[in-house]
């Protein structure tokens, strides 16, 4: 079956048996994360649901169980902007699941004023990149134990907006703009995938970044309705039509579970395919900018990220 932008996550797993697989999904309490959990559970997988709001996460789990009585779900609370919370969640998951077949770093947000974490990181960079960076590295022993296994890192076509500045990641020099901060964090997501794929070469663990498409989910909860309409309208007029949550979850489920991607690593995926490289100077809502796949930039970001989280991770 040929997959594309209109493919749904249900179609990705049609006829696929995941009963022996364990998946960890962040941002599972709403939107694409909830849909991803539902689809994986429907295919028989054991799914660890990770979200900041435990009450919302539990309600989603209950709704999935009502629809799929045999669903094998567990819930873990984690605040990606709080590194201590990330460490506690990773330790809890490792204790219960020594083997993890796929980690889907789905959680993310955009909006709000400039806020710095206790580590001095800007909040978008912290929650959208540093938290997943630390969480992924801490779960690597279980991912390696289950190899061949996969890491999926949600990025966005927002990485194309530009503004990534190694010398001003916290916006202490530039005027702050939450869309620029979001773009910077989404560029970091792709570079994270590139850097991690390099370090995991030969381990059996593959890593890819994913643009799910443009979907009006809770990711827009901290921006105005006019802003959300402007962003989705621009994307639709430049090659990326609005998707349903079922369609939006498809590429990350494809990245995590499809045999088509066996051995594929270090790339940026969209619309259930490997994205084309499209220069940043091109006005487009599709494609990955070549700068996001630069291994030298990925290594530089890796070292900065290790310094901020206070841990080094072996190559």
For residue 101, give the 3-state DSSP assignment: coil
Residues β-bridged to residue 149: 205
Pick the catalytic residue: 182, 220, 268, 302? 182
Closest CA to 66 of 26, 47, 27, 38: 38
The whole-angstrom separation of Cα 160 and Cα 1 is 30
Q: Quick check: 257 and 39 in contact, CB under 8 A? A: no
Tokens of 289: 């900018």
Closest CA to 195 of 132, 127, 118: 132
Tokens of 259: 């045999």
What DSSP letter does each residue of 3-39 carry, written as one string?
--TT--HHHHTTT---TT-EEEEESTTSHHHHHHHHH
Tokens of 256: 């995590």
Q: Angle at CA 194, nearest 5°, toward 188 and 195?
A: 85
The whole-angstrom separation of Cα 125 and Cα 170 is 8
> Strands 46-51, 22-26: parallel, antiparallel or unpaired by DSSP?
parallel
182 is catalytic: yes
Q: Is the peptide bond before 148 cis (omega within 30 degrees of 0)?
A: yes
> Strands 267-270, 102-105: parallel, antiparallel or unpaired by DSSP?
unpaired
Classify residue 288 by its DSSP letter.
B
> Strands 267-270, 273-274: parallel, antiparallel or unpaired by DSSP?
antiparallel
**Where in the sequence numbering do the catalytic residues fall?**
182
């Amino acid at each position: 079956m040929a997959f594309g932008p209109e493919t749904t996550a249900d179609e990705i797993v049609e006829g696929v048996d995941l009963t022996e697989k364990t998946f960890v999904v962040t941002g599972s309490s709403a939107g694409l994360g909830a849909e991803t959990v539902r689809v994986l559970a429907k295919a028989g997988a054991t799914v660890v649901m990770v979200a900041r709001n435990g009450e919302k996460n539990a309600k989603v789990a209950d709704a999935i169980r009502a629809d799929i009585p045999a669903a094998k779900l567990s819930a873990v609370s984690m605040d990606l902007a709080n590194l201590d919370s990330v460490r506690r969640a990773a330790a809890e998951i490792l204790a219960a699941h020594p083997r993890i077949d796929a980690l889907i770093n789905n959680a993310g947000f955009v909006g709000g004023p400039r806020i710095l974490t206790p580590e001095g990181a800007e909040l978008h960079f912290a929650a959208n990149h540093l938290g997943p960076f630390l969480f992924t590295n801490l779960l690597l022993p279980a991912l390696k134990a289950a190899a061949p296994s996969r890491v999926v890192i949600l990025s966005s076509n927002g990485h194309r907006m530009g503004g990534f500045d190694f010398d001003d990641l916290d916006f202490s020099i530039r005027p702050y703009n939450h869309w620029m901060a979001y773009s910077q964090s989404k560029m970091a997501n792709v570079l994270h995938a590139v850097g991690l794929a390099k370090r995991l070469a030969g381990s059996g663990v593959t890593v890819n970044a994913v643009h799910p498409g443009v979907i009006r989910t809770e990711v827009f909860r901290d921006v105005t309705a006019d802003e959300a309409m402007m962003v989705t309208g621009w994307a639709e007029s430049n090659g990326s039509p609005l998707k349903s949550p079922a369609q939006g979850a498809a590429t990350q489920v494809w990245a995590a579970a499809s045999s088509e991607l066996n051995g594929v690593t270090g790339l940026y995926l969209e619309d259930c395919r490997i994205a084309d490289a499209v220069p940043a100077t091109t006005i487009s809502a599709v494609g990955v900018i070549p700068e996001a796949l630069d291994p030298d930039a990925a290594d530089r970001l890796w070292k900065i990220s290790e310094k901020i989280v206070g841990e080094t991770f072996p190559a």
